[in-house]
Amino acid sequence: MEADGFWDVQETAQKVVAEARRIRAQTEPIDELIEKLDDIQAMLDLADEVGDEATFTEAEKDIAAAEQIYDKIETQALLNEPGDEGNCFLSVQAGTGGTDACDWAQKLFEMYMRWAAKQDYEIEQIDYQEDEVAGIRSAAALIKGPFAAGMLRGEVGTHRLVRISPFNAAGKRQTAFASVDVVPEAMSDEIDIEINENDLDLNFSRAGGKGGQNVNKVESAVRMTHIPTGVVVSCRSERSQHQNRAIAMEMLRAKLYQMERAKRDAELAKLYGAKGEVGFGHQIRNYVLNPYTMVKDARTGVETSHVENVLAGEIDPFIEAYLKWHHAKKTQAAKAAE
């Protein structure tokens, strides 16, 4: 990166920078853990030599900190699926539940954006379609950072909210659903994805919302439907139709790649099948605000009563539990096949 002319070709330079960032994300926690363990050993030796109870107590605190670093390394070791190491497209779609579902979809999308910000990931909003009453019908973002795709792959599916509806004059409880989709931006060479222009149904509209006069007056927003599969993507973040079309095409190619992988992976195919209907009985996680407060994952059984913390982006316990659960399922399947 310090070599002369490194930044002359921006596209190549950015790939190298991204790769360096990914490698640092893997190696730095290990270096930090080794250094921490060396310090702990030195403290224990000193405490043992002089019989200092206070130093033993301080060493115990450092051991707890070392365990957290180790947990991070252990989680990263589970990110070994194709595309896990890179960026991802994350999209949220309102499901059954009317206005409550649109409001829920917005809260869910914001939850992931807060989580991504806590990870120091870059966020590029691609699409954001507001509902006429409240919330959003759908939204999508490109999340850039080491292992973003792997960390979020367990979030794919239907998310269910139970609460007293702020849109119900009678103050009754309402159940609402929203679906989450995550696809890696990077695709391996094992599957060749070709898209025929004749297979695309393109619709253009004014983007609306914030973004200046050009966004609101010119039909820059792009909605792209892949006719053979029915996959729909849209982009309205850029000021030009050409840019939005290019991003939508990239997102479509990533989704089609994921579908091809699903055909080769029975477990992933089952996951996508479960996501097909965004309604009761298909949820992967429940968020309950009334008559009690609880967030519970239907797959791993992990739960917490701190719903507000979860909606503020503190979803790491659910992510880590899913990765361990998924790894255990794969290991069992491999042993059964032997």
| 147 Cβ neighbours under 8 A, 6+ residues apart | 22, 25, 76, 79, 84, 85, 86
Residue with more model confidence, 271 or 265: 265
Cβ(141)–Cβ(123) under 8 Å? yes
Cα torsion through 10, 11, 12, 16, rounded to 10: 90
Average pLDDT over residues 262-266: 62
Average pLDDT over residues 270-292: 70
CA torsion sign for 320, 263, 330, 24 is negative
The predicted model scores a pTM of 0.76
| 312 Cβ neighbours under 8 A, 6+ residues apart | 111, 114
Task: Examine the pLDDT at 60 and tell me if it is beyond 60.
Answer: yes
Tens digit of each residue's pLDDT (9 = 90 or more) over 126-168:
889 999 999 999 999 999 999 999 999 999 999 999 999 998 8
Mean pLDDT, the chain, integer? 85
Task: Examine the pLDDT at 221 and tell me if it is beyond 90.
Answer: no
Whole-angstrom CA distances from 42 to 38, 297, 300 are 6, 42, 39
pLDDT for 254 equals 85
Average pLDDT over residues 86-92: 93
Residue with more model confidence, 47 or 315: 315
pLDDT for 213 equals 41
Q: Note the Cα 78 to chain centre separation in Å.
A: 15
* Cα(138)–Cα(130) distance, integer angstroms: 7
Task: Examine the pLDDT at 321 and tell me if it is beyond 70.
Answer: yes
> Nearest Cα to 141, choosing from 200, 82, 182?
182
Task: Examine the pLDDT at 75 and tell me if it is beyond 50.
Answer: yes
Return the domain boundaries, the chain: 6-77, 88-333
State the CB neighbour count (10 A cutoff) for residue 28.
11
Tens digit of each residue's pLDDT (9 = 90 or more) over 229-251:
888 888 887 777 888 888 888 88
Residue with more model confidence, 19 or 110: 110
> Nearest Cα to 236, choosing from 269, 212, 201?
212
Name the one residue in this structure whose structure tokens are 């490194």: 6
Task: Examine the pLDDT at 253 and tell me if it is beyond 80.
Answer: yes
E strand spans, 45-121: 88-94
Joined tokens for residue 262: 């699903």
Hey, what amino acid is at 117?
A
Domain spanning 88-333, CATH architecture: 2-Layer Sandwich (3.30)
pLDDT over 90, % of the chain: 46
* Cα(257)–Cα(229) distance, integer angstroms: 12
pLDDT for 280 equals 57
Joined tokens for residue 22: 């990914």
| Local confidence band at 216 (pLDDT 50, 70, 90 cut-offs) | very low
Whole-angstrom CA distances from 297 to 222, 239, 272, 301, 322 are 35, 39, 17, 5, 9
CA angle 309, 324, 90 (to 5 degrees): 55
Name the one residue in this structure whose structure tokens are 């990931």: 121
